[in-house]
């Protein structure tokens, strides 16, 4: 059994831009903004970074392939800079690259940076692309992300024999809660609290998901500088350390799309990655031990099923937990304390690192009272890419020593 990376890597500093419709900023501006904050927080200079990973998904209509756009914009001094793409989990994939480099001993200080400039695409929602290959163009459905995730709702309602209006009530609470949290966050894209009536009454995007069941499409960038515990102690003696306790990725086997065993009402990769992550982090009962979560709420229904897939809510009980306020900011496990993808926004390549940014700052107790999670010990991030039948899931756990 591999020993994993628990406690081998520490976050030295992080940065995150304001997410939103950044009409005045290009990808270069966003990258510079995130990196500048991260370096400042880390207390190091650009030349101290030994290797870098760039997370970005929509390449051709954004900054192209490879990482030369980023290295050129940031003027990194001829260090390795690698672009990684794994759909919406690209940010966490970049973080994994940097983390593995440090954990392996290949580097002492590494950078993970994610960016996405979606508001130059001309689309509301994500742009059309042959994301699943050319064969899928010929045989796949005329689909969009909301429609793909909306199907979780029809399958979930059928499996648990829950009427669709009851399920809609639960997912409405999911979005309502995230709007409450996002409203308090100056860097969030959508900063207005909304009523449940507004959410319920919004135009349908993909049955049963309405406009407020879908996350924001934003520009933004986030960066993390990671290092070994030894380097951290040297650079920041006597400061609390946010350590990577676990980082697990699971990718679909094709079974969900073609075999008839999957129930369609949850995400197998989330179930797989979270169990491995709990084991790596030494967590026995996540419902009791996890203090807070930033999960991939691309759509409200995704967050609902994720609560069960992560083993926090028992099967079929997520709607109950949600409606009981279990995941509200003042609940037992606050979920999306920063507003989540829903309100903080979703510049794809940056999102995974943005989640870590929130957990990191919460663990360090840096946020004002009104949006601080009380006495957090373990924070979990869940970054999901692709569609329910074909996806990439990362689950990372962070703790403070």
Partner 1 sequence: MVGIGSFGGYVPRYRLNRMIIFGSMGWLNPVIITNARGEKAVANFDEDSITMAVAAGMDCLRGVDRQGIDAVYFATTTAPYRERQNANIVAGALGARDEIRSADFTGSLKSGTSALLSALEFVDCNGGKAVVCAADCRLGKMASTQEMVFGDAGAAVMVSDSEVIAEYKGSFSVSHDFVDHLRGANTKYDRMWEERWIRDVGYQQFIPQAVQGLCAKYGMSPADFDRIIYPCYYGGARKNINKALQVEQEKVQDDMLATVGDSGSAHPLLMLAAALETAKPGEKILLVSYGSGCDALWFEVTENITKMQDGRGVSRWLARRADLDNYQKYLVWRGMAPAETGIRGETDKETRWSLVWREHKAILGLWGSKCRKCGTQQYPPQRICINPDCQALDEMDPVYLADKGGTVFTYTGDMLAASVNPPAIYGNVNFNGGGRTLMDFTDCTVEDLSVGMPVEFSFRIKFYDPKRDITNYFWKAVPAVGEVK
- Of 52 and 157, nearer to partner 1 (C-beta) is 157
- Of 197 and 207, nearer to partner 1 (C-beta) is 207
CA distance 229 to 206: 47
Residues in region 366-395 near partner 1 by CB under 8 A? 389
Q: Could you tell me the CA-to-CA distances from 202 to 60, 209, 333, 339, 345 in Å, in that order?
A: 33, 9, 28, 19, 19
- Residue 150 binds to partner 1 (criterion: CB under 8 A): yes
Pick one of 146, 182, 216, 352: the residue that binds partner 1 (CB under 8 A).
Answer: 146
- Residue 128 binds to partner 1 (criterion: CB under 8 A): yes
CA distance 37 to 193: 28
Kindly determine how many residues on this chain lie close enough to bind partner 1 according to the rule CB under 8 A: 44
CB of 29 to partner 1, least distance (A): 24
Neighbours of 108 (CB within 10 A): 17
- Residue 259 binds to partner 1 (criterion: CB under 8 A): yes
Pick one of 138, 237, 285, 330: the residue that binds partner 1 (CB under 8 A).
Answer: 138
Pick one of 56, 107, 113, 152: the residue that binds partner 1 (CB under 8 A).
Answer: 152
CB of 207 to partner 1, least distance (A): 4
Determine contact, residues 97/82, Cβ cutoff 8 Å. Answer: yes
- Residue 154 binds to partner 1 (criterion: CB under 8 A): yes
Instruction: Look up 296 and say whether it is catalytic.
Output: no
CB of 132 to partner 1, least distance (A): 10
Q: What residues form DSSP beta bridges with 292? A: 379
CB of 216 to partner 1, least distance (A): 15
Q: In terms of Cα–Cα distance, which of 209, 178, 232 is closest to 400?
A: 232
- Residue 254 binds to partner 1 (criterion: CB under 8 A): yes
Instruction: Look up 227 and say whether it is catalytic.
Output: no
Point out the residues that are catalytic.
Answer: 88, 346
Give the residues lining the site for partner 1 (CB under 8 A): 122-125, 127-128, 130, 134-135, 137-144, 146-148, 150-155, 157-158, 203-207, 209, 253-255, 257-261, 264, 389
């Amino acid at each position: 059994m591999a020993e994993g990376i628990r406690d081998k890597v520490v976050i030295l500093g992080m940065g995150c831009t304001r997410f939103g419709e950044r009409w005045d900023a290009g990808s270069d501006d966003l990258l510079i903004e995130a990196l500048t904050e991260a370096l400042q927080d880390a207390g190091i200079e650009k030349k101290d970074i030994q290797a870098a990973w760039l997370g970005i998904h929509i390449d051709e209509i954004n900054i192209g392939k490879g990482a030369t756009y980023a290295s050129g914009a940031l003027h990194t001094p001829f260090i390795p800079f690698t672009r990684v793409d794994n759909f919406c989990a690209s940010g966490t994939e970049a973080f994994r690259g940097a983390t593995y480099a440090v954990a392996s001993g290949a580097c002492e200080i590494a950078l993970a940076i994610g960016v996405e400039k979606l508001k130059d695409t001309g689309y509301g929602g994500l742009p059309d692309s042959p994301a699943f290959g050319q064969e899928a163009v010929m045989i796949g459905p005329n689909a969009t992300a909301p429609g793909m995730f909306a199907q979780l709702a029809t399958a979930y309602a059928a499996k648990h024999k829950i009427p669709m209006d009851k399920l809609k009530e639960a997912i409405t609470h999911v979005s309502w809660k995230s709007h409450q949290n996002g409203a308090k966050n100056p860097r969030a894209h959508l900063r207005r609290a909304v009523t449940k009536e507004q959410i319920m009454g919004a135009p349908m995007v993909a049955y049963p998901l309405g406009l407020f069941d879908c996350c924001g499409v934003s520009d933004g960038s986030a960066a993390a500088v990671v290092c070994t515990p030894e380097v951290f102690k040297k650079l920041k003696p006597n400061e609390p350390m946010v350590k990577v306790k676990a980082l697990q990725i699971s990718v679909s086997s094709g079974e969900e799309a073609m075999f008839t065993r999957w129930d369609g009402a949850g995400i197998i990769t989330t179930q797989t990655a979270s169990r491995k992550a709990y084991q790596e982090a030494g967590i026995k009962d996540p419902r009791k031990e996890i203090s807070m979560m930033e999960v991939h709420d691309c759509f409200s229904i995704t967050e609902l099923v994720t609560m069960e897939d992560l083993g926090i809510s028992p099967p079929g009980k997520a709607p109950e937990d949600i409606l009981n306020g279990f995941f509200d900011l003042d609940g037992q496990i606050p979920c999306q304390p920063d507003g989540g993808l829903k309100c903080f926004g979703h510049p794809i390549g940056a999102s995974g690192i943005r989640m870590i940014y929130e957990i990191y700052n919460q663990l360090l107790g840096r946020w004002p009272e009104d949006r601080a999670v009380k006495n957090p010990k373990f924070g979990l991030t869940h970054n999901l890419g692709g569609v329910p039948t074909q996806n990439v899931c990362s689950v990372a756990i962070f703790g403070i020593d």
